[in-house]
Amino acid sequence: MPYRHETLQKIRDHLGEGGFVEDPTQLEAYNTEWRGHYKGTATFVARPANAEECAFVIKTCTENDIAVVPMSGNTGLVGGATADASEVIISTERMNTIHAIDPVNGTMTVGAGCILAEVQRAADEAGKLFPLSLAAEGSCRIGGNLSTNAGGTNVLRYGNARDLVLGLQVVLPNGEIMDGLKGLRKDNTGYELKHLFMGAEGTLGIITAAVLKLFPKPRQRQTALIALTDVDQVIALFARASDAVGDALSGFEYMNRTSLWVTCEHTDGVRDPFDTPHDAYVLMELTSPRPGNDLRDAMEQFLEAAFEAEEVVDAVIAESGKQMDDLWHIRETIPDAQAFEGGSIKNDISVPVSKVPEFVKRGDVIVETTIPGTRPMTFGHIGDGNLHYNLTQPKDMDREEFMAKWHDVTDPLNDLVHELGGSFSAEHGVGKLKREELVRFSSPVEIELMRKIKATFDPKGLMNPGKVL
């Protein structure tokens, strides 16, 4: 139902100038999903500056049966922050203060509205590392990262977003504030409540601040781009790397030929480092907090052994920090480059690492059988079995015709993922897009437990309705 004018006026008065958005021109940015798959119609955005203001907005909305939709950087891909005209968006963007850094304890306390790149920079200036790293790190915000349990390129060594958090501050649907901003490494006092909110996509409450883990800053870094004949070799190489370099292995990213070609074709300053094309590539990075240059020797010895075992066909080792960044730029710009090739059906899946080759091979057959001429752009994080299996429209097909076949190709691919013991949603969340899959692939017991948790926290169903469940 449409919300009442007096309710919004109460929120306006409390938040003051800069605390809300109603101008249609400004609302456009809040109503447009990053990739344009979903379009919202919200007419009011609340912009609280702290947890107390956020609590006031939520309590006021709840008392008046108005649904709220949390929003951080609006960089999601599954419609998780899309709101309609009867709902109020609550943006965390003004809660963007870095409250404290404790280098000895290895923690940083930040507001949910802090941009990820700014958190990384603050950690670096304090002589530490915050390892969460995503292609959208220049615009995504910590609250959204935690609410979707973001992954990224460093999961192999440091874990997902939930592994990087010690404490949370959360505003609950009734307006109460759960203040758990503790920097403790050990705390066995009852249920670990914070994990309920990380990955819940704002359906149980709004994360307003967090205590993040910091790590020693790498003093050495070695990066190589490696060419291989197929995805089977990729997995063999990963197994070798895991044994040979151990915890120095911080990145192991796979790209198929189409991913590299499209990126080179459409991204300024990006070129193929190899003279001849190959079917598979791995971007591998070693890091260490130790001083010295022993990682260079480790990388060279590793590659020499891999060549002798015929697991690789070519490789380039970056000779400078700029060259390392240039190699990572290839990987990070794949999604943007894909947009130039037309419609894209994106699949964010995970399978056991050993099953990656089977998924890729059988998935390619499913795609070609279902929509002949479709070009899979396959890339992702081999260390955690997370693949971005993105499908680019055939060159001779209309975009709308291709996008209309979304479920025709995605449903059998998700069936394959399930058969292989994987997940249809590895790091981008469920949102609106994958609600049916959640029910289809979860056990009745799991779904019932999730619904009971939702009903306990949000009995009126006003927190980000229509998302996840």
Question: pLDDT by residue (tens digit) across 345-354?
Answer: 999 999 999 9
From the list 437, 440, 435, 441, the residue with the least C-alpha distance to 454 is 435
Here the tokens at position 213 are 């883990």
Strand partners, 180: 168
Here the tokens at position 99 are 């409250």
pLDDT surpassing 80 at residue 2: no
Mean pLDDT of 11-32: 96
When the pLDDT of each residue in the chain is averaged and rounded to a whole number, the result is 95
Convert the pLDDT of each residue in 94-148 to its tens digit: 999 999 999 999 999 999 999 999 999 999 999 999 999 988 899 999 999 999 9
Place of tokens 């919200």: 42
The helix-helix angle for 356-370 and 231-245 (nearest 10°) equals: 160
CB 175 within 8 A of CB 64: no
Q: Name 276's Cβ contacts closer than 8 Å, sequence gap at least 6.
A: none
Convert the pLDDT of each residue in 277-299 to its tens digit: 999 999 999 999 998 889 999 99
Convert the pLDDT of each residue in 158-171 to its tens digit: 999 999 999 999 99
Convert the pLDDT of each residue in 76-96 to its tens digit: 989 999 999 999 999 999 999
Predicted TM-score of the model (pTM)? 0.93
314 burial type by CB count under 10 A (0-12 exposed, 13-18 middle, 19+ buried): middle
Model pLDDT, residue 106: 98
Mean pLDDT of 324-338: 93
Q: Which 3-state string (H, E, C) describes the chain? A: CCCCHHHHHHHHHHHCCCCEECCHHHHHHHHECCCCCCECCCCCEECCCCHHHHHHHHHHHHHCCCCEEEECCCCCCCCCCCCCCCCEEEECCCCCCEEEEECCCCEEEEECCCEHHHHHHHHHHCCEECCCCCCCCCCCEHHHHHHCCCCCCCHHHHCCHHHHEEEEEEECCCCCEEEECCCCCCCCCCCCCHHHHCCCCCCCCEEEEEEEECEECCCEEEEEEEEECCHHHHHHHHHHHHHHHHHHEEEEEEEEHHHHHHHHHHCCCCCCCCCCCCCEEEEEEEEECCCCCHHHHHHHHHHHHHHHCCCCCEEEECCCHHHHHHHHHHHHCHHHHHHHHCCEECCEEECCHHHHHHHHHHHHHHHHHHCCCCEEEEEEEHHHCEEEEEEECCCCCCHHHHHCCHHHHHHHHHHHHHHCCCECCCCCCCCCCCHHHHHHHCCHHHHHHHHHHHHHHCCCCCECCCCCC
- Ramachandran area for residue 435 (φ above 0: left; ψ -120 to 50: alpha; else beta): alpha
Convert the pLDDT of each residue in 211-233 to its tens digit: 999 999 999 999 999 999 999 99
Q: Name 188's Cβ contacts closer than 8 Å, sequence gap at least 6.
A: none
CB 244 within 8 A of CB 300: no
Mean pLDDT of 143-160: 93
Here the tokens at position 350 are 């995970």
Convert the pLDDT of each residue in 430-463 to its tens digit: 999 999 999 999 999 999 999 999 999 999 999 9
Categorize the per-residue pLDDT at 37 as very low, low, confident or very high, splitting at 50, 70 and 90.
Answer: confident
Question: Which domains does the chain possess?
Answer: 5-91 (3.30.43.10), 98-216 (3.30.465.10), 220-335 (3.30.70.2190), 342-427 (3.30.70.2740)
Model pLDDT, residue 1: 46
CA distance 145 to 152: 10
CB 269 within 8 A of CB 304: no
From the list 52, 45, 183, 40, the residue with the least C-alpha distance to 109 is 183
CA distance 444 to 370: 30
Q: Name 23's Cβ contacts closer than 8 Å, sequence gap at least 6.
A: none
281 burial type by CB count under 10 A (0-12 exposed, 13-18 middle, 19+ buried): buried
Place of tokens 């094309």: 277
pLDDT surpassing 80 at residue 372: yes
339 burial type by CB count under 10 A (0-12 exposed, 13-18 middle, 19+ buried): middle
The number of beta carbons lying within 10 Å of the beta carbon of residue 459 is: 11
